């Protein structure tokens, strides 16, 4: 591989959006535009599907003034997708199309920002380019509010989602405790196999308004114990706020959510929903008390008004570092975050082989969950608190957030 590789780059976003996905795009775009060896900077419309369809945006046509709003803009400004590539050893048709687009536009750098499945896409494209001899440096850039991406201490996007969840939980707790009749509120929080987001609700405990009970997929769910736990809390203080991960399951692996079979995404993962309503109905039926189910749903991943400054800064950092590492000759890696030892929080970036991070899940350590399996302990607080730290001075217009308005000129 040559020391100085000249050519265009493609930047793509994939998977579920987050509050800082565009902050990472800002880091990648601005760094690539300033690099002499990168001749053109393209954004893929809707991730790898945009590459396959040949729909690319010329990022050089965007004004720097507008790009500066990206770190404050939630979701995925280039558009995202859930698209599973076949194994290149078994089927090369789609890869031949990707190669055609790369060769036509002299693409020598490919940056893909996403979670577990996106790292799988990166690994396959990197492997295919090696197979056919097209020199292209492929770098995966971490993103997932689920925080379950293997090989990194945490993922950009998680801190802001965690901050929103903790804040909303505290606010709901205050609302739920005003009536003298007592009530139960069940909060449904995202998390298919990993309970990182639901665990974040426990941070509200530090305000004195945290969930009384919390259930994550790392611990098998027991309905009888769940009802007993609620009855004990109500007997002690009248009301109860309960946080549950959408992917909680019984000991036999069956998901508690009745909507588990309703749909799947592009990677075959179950699409959840309706768990809070189902549990609320069971609580009302079994305990005969007033109960309300609340599903945070999309709010937890697009709440940029509650974004963590640390999260935004690290999102930009991994984007910049991805481009700099590629320019230095690295390829076939994901940019991971590594927490340095010491009393003060500080993270550095490290290279993680794509073969290590692709399709691997990082779960909440069991020793961060209390002995009863219905709450978190101090180890989780120590881990998560630095990730939600800091407030942003957000740009506004007419009292509302000012988001980036890209022109998205197609090449």
CATH architecture of residue range(s) 7-145+305-359+389-401: 3-Layer(aba) Sandwich (3.40)
- Residue 269 is predicted with a pLDDT of 47
- Residue 229 is predicted with a pLDDT of 97
Residues of the chain with pLDDT under 70: 1-3, 258-273
- Measure CA 84 to chain center: 18
pLDDT tens readout for residues 263-315: 454 544 455 568 999 999 999 999 998 999 999 999 999 999 999 999 999 99
The pTM of the full predicted model, rounded to 2 decimals, is 0.94
Site of tokens 């790392």:
218
- Residue 362 is predicted with a pLDDT of 96
Instruction: For residue 386, give Cα distances in angstroms to 129, 195, 282, 377.
Output: 39, 18, 37, 16
Nearest by Cα to 168 from 369, 305, 368: 305
* Cβ proximity of 169 and 300 under 8 Å: no
Where are the chain's structural domains? Answer: 7-145+305-359+389-401, 158-303
Q: Which two tokens stand for residue 22?
A: 């565009």
Q: Which two tokens stand for residue 225?
A: 């114990």
Give yes or no on whether 7-145+305-359+389-401 and 158-303 have one common fold: yes
Distance CA 76, CA 25 (A): 9
Neighbouring residues of 90: CB distance < 8 A, sequence distance ≥ 6: none
- Residue 182 is predicted with a pLDDT of 83
Backbone angles phi, psi at 249, to 5 degrees: -145, 160
* Cβ proximity of 44 and 146 under 8 Å: no
Name the residues annotated as catalytic: 146
Distance CA 193, CA 246 (A): 9
Site of tokens 């003034």:
65
Distance CA 212, CA 46 (A): 40
- Residue 93 is predicted with a pLDDT of 93
Distance CA 296, CA 188 (A): 6
CATH architecture of residue range(s) 158-303: 3-Layer(aba) Sandwich (3.40)
Beta bridge partners of 353: 333
- Longest CA span, the chain: 73
Distance CA 246, CA 137 (A): 37
Backbone angles phi, psi at 216, to 5 degrees: -120, 160
- Residue 245 is predicted with a pLDDT of 97
> Using the 8-state DSSP alphabet, how is residue 68 labeled?
T
Distance CA 47, CA 123 (A): 15
* Cβ proximity of 318 and 143 under 8 Å: no
């Amino acid at each position: 591989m040559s020391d100085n590789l000249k050519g265009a780059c493609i930047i793509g976003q994939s998977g579920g959006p987050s509050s800082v996905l565009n902050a990472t795009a800002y880091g990648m775009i601005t760094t690539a535009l300033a690099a002499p060896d990168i001749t053109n900077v393209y954004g893929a419309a809707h991730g790898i599907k945009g590459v396959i369809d040949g729909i690319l945006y010329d990022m050089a046509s965007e004004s720097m003034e507008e790009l500066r709003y990206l770190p404050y803009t939630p979701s995925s400004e280039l558009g995202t997708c859930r698209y599973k590539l076949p194994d290149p050893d078994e089927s090369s048709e789609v890869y031949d199309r990707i190669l055609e687009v790369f060769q036509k536009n002299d693409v020598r750098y490919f940056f893909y920002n996403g979670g577990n499945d996106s790292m799988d896409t990166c690994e396959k494209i990197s492997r295919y380019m090696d197979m056919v001899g097209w020199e292209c440096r492929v770098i995966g850039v971490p993103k997932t509010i689920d925080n379950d991406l293997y090989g990194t201490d945490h993922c950009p996007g998680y801190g802001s989602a965690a901050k929103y969840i903790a804040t909303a939980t505290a606010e709901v707790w205050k609302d739920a405790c005003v009536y003298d009749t007592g009530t139960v509120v069940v909060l449904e929080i995202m998390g298919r196999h990993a309970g990182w987001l639901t665990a974040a609700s426990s941070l509200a405990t530090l305000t004195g308004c945290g969930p009384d009970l919390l259930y994550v997929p790392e611990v098998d769910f027991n309905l009888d114990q769940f009802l007993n736990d609620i009855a004990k809390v109500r007997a002690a203080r009248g009301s109860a706020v309960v946080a549950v991960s959408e992917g909680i399951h019984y000991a036999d692996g069956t998901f508690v959510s009745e909507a588990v079979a309703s749909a799947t995404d592009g990677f075959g993962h179950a699409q959840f929903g309706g768990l809070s309503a189902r549990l609320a109905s069971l609580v009302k039926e079994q305990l005969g008390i007033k109960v309300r189910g609340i599903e945070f749903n999309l709010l937890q991943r697009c709440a940029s008004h509650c974004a963590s400054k640390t999260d935004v800064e690290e999102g930009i950092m991994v984007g910049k570092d991805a481009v700099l590492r590629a320019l230095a000759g690295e390829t076939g890696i994901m940019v991971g975050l590594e927490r340095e030892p010491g009393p003060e929080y500080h993270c550095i970036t490290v290279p993680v082989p794509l073969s290590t991070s692709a399709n691997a899940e990082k779960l909440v350590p069991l020793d961060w969950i209390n002995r009863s399996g219905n709450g978190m302990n101090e180890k989780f607080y120590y881990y998560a608190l630095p990730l939600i730290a800091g407030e942003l001075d957000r740009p506004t217009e007419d009292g509302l957030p000012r988001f980036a308005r890209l022109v998205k000129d197609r090449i």
